[in-house]
Structure 1
């Protein structure tokens, strides 16, 4: 595997498939897609990487770490078996195939075992740092997830898409990383967090000689009947997804917004005092604002100012609206609420809208705070609950084509840094190639890690504006 410069930075040691222990009762299982899953049918599969500071030799890696990780992954997939399967959907608007995750006995997850073979300057400390690193470098640690577009079962007229692939990479005598790529159709952040925590817990039990792997609070709940769809939103989303796939917009959805070889990822840490300072600066206009709202609002205004500084006038004289889209977990807000360990997606998108001129002006930060808070309240405080207006999501998306839109990945609610496989907690969790990611900080108690993906020029300007704004 190589980066854009053609330098081999990762050598693949092994490709294998990991299956759960044989269960004769699970010969063929279908988990129907709900309206929340259908939202992501044409969405690119996100990539993530955990970095672990655990110096070990190639021999120890091959003989100890990898065998334990393989075995604990298989035991975890016993409980999370849909991750071994495939998403199946129709190939035409007239077909009546029920969209589902299909698991067949013997299905498996792709696991790549690799070793970093670049120079020390490109190695563990560089890739796990907060400074700007090439996205192509980080992608060397994330496995490919083949798309179903080339895996269509013509005879049965179904489109087949794999769900999960994993890569474990050794940095000799420095540490290792666990990277993965996952279909968003199958899991939201909560489900994925439960999966990783379960895998880590089982690996620790295995290292300690324990064999009680079936009594963990993170094990999934699969009953799809708890998701109600009185408006038929699932059908609306499915029809839209199939139409865009047939129109070849499906291919465009998987193309990066820019050539990934020109992009860099960087992380900015906000500590508790800085976050409180942001809250204080808008307390007169917007009292009692949450950390999530105030931080996202600040990022939004800094992005608008960055575009203005670079002369990227995408909004016709700053008068056309632009949009910040964020996710709200509906598990606790559905009627009745559903279990926190429900397997699948339960997030709904919230839209905050402002004109660019309102964001870059003197009151831009307060305007952004109010817009995001109002978008959140709109989902919470209404008679229809979090599903209000959800059926119009793709219509709204179409109506705002050409306007500035961006969202946020990750969540400060999930403690990614608790994923200890028995050899220490992660040094770094990286959301790869997302314009904006937000998680709890590993370095600052009560702080946040903000991950960004821009061109190098955009990153330099954005960072300067972001940093100066905190000082003003």
Structure 2
């Protein structure tokens, strides 16, 4: 078992206004909308990035010295400057007795800040940052920070920077899903990398300008909740765990299933084109033959076959999130900071997905779900109050349910492989928290060719999936 030594746990505060040369008007507090509240008791989102040290061919390069004297100070300082643009993310989620729903509060007097852990490890960098080997699902956990959460308050962001001497370093992060969605997280990361890179290029240590296209939009009043859905969801949350006045912010506990391994797969553009050609024979103009739809469908078919899901009446439910910012009237800015996604679900019988027409059936089901979203006459918030009971039922049943549920985490549109702080693009990026949620992660690829897929499965299921996945693309 690899060793991890914690060197430092520190707090990074937003830089003073006099240092951050910005006209940012970040508010100190933000109310949660109904689109945020549904995620209140869900597990934090965790992601990791692995970076190789530049200029490793230099035999005189002391990577440990470089890490502690250059990388860590620059990351901390640029994070401080970035937080000035995203002030609420330095604070905490709280649920005061005087408020019917939780809110995000940054309190400078309470020294609110983002936790940053610095560590060193003797773990195998190349194995963990590679894509050719399966390894235990929990092996990433020592490189992910704890997100401080209690009944009364919950941190929003935390980071851990870990040195792999002579090879590289990792940046692990955790964020509270009730505060921000994936698009908001990656907007924050893009701002941080821009500032960190610019400090080095401009040789200006206090460079803190953020591109206009990354300026966060904070106004939560643009989410018009005329039916008071936020109050309904808040009441549902207070009724949980014995209620009726439960204001706990502690997430529902989820364990990583024993015997699970993590695997990474790639669907290239050529693979996607082949899948598209297979479906062209159906001559169905209603099929949504996007890279996302084809990749998700192919994964579902491969899973149904690999796990032998062919019991009579057994269904596979599959869901994905859709960015709803453009669907509001008027449309919300693309830089709206918070949760603004809606879930769409489809279903099919497992034995049908594993059959000869499985790919067509999966694509058709997902296409129908996408079309129902695009043509819906209901408002974006329609039915949102039903989600907390659904999430609770799913949490309580776990894997005891007769049916299977697969959801998507992240998106290739977030481009995690462009997260370059100035020392090069990541060698590997992965959504760590799928080991608890059971979701399938999708992202761009390091080489820019197609879509990268992350999965956590029982070892024998993963081996079977890998064989069928590759076989079907040949």
Q: Name the structure 1 match of 2:294.
A: 294
2:455 and 2:179 map into 1 onto residues whose CA distance is 25
Change (3 A) 1:398 1:111: closer
Change (3 A) 1:269 1:66: same
In structure 2, list runs of 5 or more residues that go unmatched: 19-23, 57-61
SS at match of 2:327: coil
Query: Does residue 1:15 correspond to 2:21, yes or no?
Result: no
Q: Name the structure 1 match of 2:39.
A: 40
2:74 and 2:251 map into 1 onto residues whose CA distance is 39
Shift of 1:237: 2.3
Change (3 A) 1:64 1:298: same
Query: Does residue 1:127 correspond to 2:128, yes or no?
Result: yes
Write the mapping of 1:303-382 to structure 2, written as runs, cut at 5 A.
303-308=303-308, 317-382=311-376
Q: Name the structure 2 match of 1:274.
A: 271
Shift of 1:195: 0.6
**Quick one: which of 450, 453, 457 aligns to 2:453?**
450
2:316 and 2:297 map into 1 onto residues whose CA distance is 13
Verify the 8 A CA contact 2:27 2:87 in the aligned structure 1.
Answer: no
2:338 and 2:278 map into 1 onto residues whose CA distance is 39
Shift of 1:84: 1.4
Q: Name the structure 2 match of 1:154.
A: none
Shift of 1:243: 2.4
The farther-off stretch of 383-392 and 166-175 is: 383-392
Write the mapping of 1:89-100 to structure 2, written as runs, cut at 5 A.
89=95, 96-100=99-103
Query: Does residue 1:386 correspond to 2:341, yes or no?
Result: no
Q: TM-score, normalised by structure 1?
A: 0.87
Q: TM-score, normalised by structure 2?
A: 0.87
2:265 and 2:422 map into 1 onto residues whose CA distance is 28
**Quick one: which of 69, 79, 86 aligns to 1:80?**
86
Q: Give the CA RMSD over aligned residues.
A: 2.5
Shift of 1:88: 1.2
Q: Name the structure 2 match of 1:115.
A: 120
Shift of 1:22: 3.5
Verify the 8 A CA contact 1:325 1:406 in the aligned structure 2.
Answer: yes
Change (3 A) 1:253 1:354: farther
Pairs aligned (count): 440
Verify the 8 A CA contact 1:26 1:104 in the aligned structure 2.
Answer: no
Query: Does residue 1:263 correspond to 2:260, yes or no?
Result: yes
Q: Name the structure 2 match of 1:52.
A: 51
Verify the 8 A CA contact 2:35 2:339 in the aligned structure 1.
Answer: yes
Q: Name the structure 1 match of 2:59.
A: none
2:393 and 2:364 map into 1 onto residues whose CA distance is 23
